[in-house]
Amino acid sequence: MRLMDSVRIAWAMLKLHKLRAFLTMFGVIVGVMAVTLIGIITEGFNAYMAKQFNQFGTDSIYIVYDNFSRRGRLAGRVGSLQQSDVDYIMNRTSTLRAASAALTVPVTSATVGSRELRGLRIQGVDSNVHELNQIFVESGRNLTAGDSASKANVCVIGKEVASELFPNQNPLGQFVTFQGISLQVVGVLPVREVFGSNNKKEIWLPLSTAHSKWVGGNNVSVITVRPRPGISVTQAMDDTWAVLMNKSNNQRLYRLDSSESISGTLTGIIGVAGAVLAGVAALALIVGGIGIMNIMLVSVTERTKEIGLRKAVGAPSRSIRLQFLVESAVLSLLGGCVGMGLALLFGNLIGLVTKVANWPQEGGLATPFPWTIALVAAGVSTAIGVIFGLYPAIKASNLSPIEALRTE
């Protein structure tokens, strides 16, 4: 009952000095709000990144030729990744279920009659590209193994290519021309946006067609592989690396990376940045604690005669101590709750603004409320209130009743 009485008295003092109480809590409010809001944004970006990588699978492994190392540059003069490397890798590993090679073609424009579209990304791909990238045409058909075997003059195109080069008509069966080579459109890709970049202006053609009728040679830009079900990405990468090292006589001519490791790295960066920012924001809690200590010292001075009277009628020092500790704890806890409420409000506002702006993805940024972070921040703010209220409470409890009653 003593504790509940102390809480009631503390609440009465807050209502008696509303403005002073709010100004005292301001530092705690800002600190809890900032820490919680950073948690909201961090979780939102983590959810955004997970969604981006899940579009094409987190178990994809990418192989490129290492043109940045000294050995890679020397070897790059006479070779690079080859289309034949796909079969070489698949025939020597038991942990991979699929592989696909792709080549970026150095052409960025296409024409249909008098219409021309620039800024294109044209790629030679094999028939496994659809499965490896988890993207299939929304109309027409996908590129097939038969297209690759016959070096067919066919392609699948992005939505903007279709709308710009074939306005008001069905692009399927039509022909697109690139520097004298005409390809028949057999499919249209659905829109996919990854980290702000989309495939609306992409064109895919069979890799064999690109090699034989366009760029020549047998080089590819990247090989994508995926492990069998039940095989971890790490194990598949180790096996693939061993095969490549055997092929290159232990020269580090290749680089391997995976969606999983890239996602983990980016998530880690976001987490560290969020923790640092939250740590800086938490300094406001210290400032708030100092404010609570200051106002509680003022309160002790103002209520000296009250303290003396309570002691004169038999109130023990621990009751006086408890009273002032409860008042400082109520101040900081209330400030923490207000800060949580403001963080929830601003979090919803951020979600609404990003949804209207369609940034960083369609539908905006998810802003789930991090209850764990918010409750920890509120708990810490309460603890800070108690810690910084300890000195004023001890000072009040140590007052001599006679001296306190004589104070004017």
pLDDT at 385: 84
Local confidence band at 77 (pLDDT 50, 70, 90 cut-offs)? very low
- Residues 203 and 181 grouped into a single domain: yes
Q: Is the pLDDT of residue 73 over 50?
A: no
| pLDDT confidence bin for 375, thresholds 50/70/90 | confident
The residue from 252, 275, 306 where one domain ends is: 252
Domain count of the fold of the chain:
2
> Is residue 76's pLDDT more than 50?
no
Residue 374 has pLDDT above 70, yes or no: yes
Both 82 and 220 in a single domain?
yes
Q: Is residue 259 part of a domain?
A: no
pLDDT of residue 68: 54
Joined tokens for residue 379 = 């708990």
Residue identified by tokens 């303290």 is 307
Last residue of a domain, one of 252, 279, 302: 252
Please report the DSSP string for 219-286 in residue order.
B-SEEEEEEPTT--HHHHHHHHHHHHHHHTTT---EEEEEHHHHHHHHHHHHHHHHHHHHHHHHHHHH
Domain shared by 318 and 209, yes or no:
no
- pTM of the entire structure? 0.73
Average confidence (pLDDT) over 361-369: 84
pLDDT of amino acid 71: 47
Asked whether residue 100 falls in the same domain as residue 196, the answer is: yes
Nearest to 36 by CA among 355, 330, 349, 370: 370
pLDDT score of 132: 87
- Averaged over 132-148, what is the pLDDT? 92
Q: Which domain holds residue 20?
A: 2-54+264-406
Per-residue pLDDT reduced to its tens digit, 318-359:
888 888 888 888 888 899 899 999 999 999 999 999 988 888
* Averaged pLDDT score across all residues of the chain: 86
Q: Does the structure show a pLDDT above 50 at 70?
A: no
Q: Give yes or no: residues 389 and 284 share one domain.
A: yes
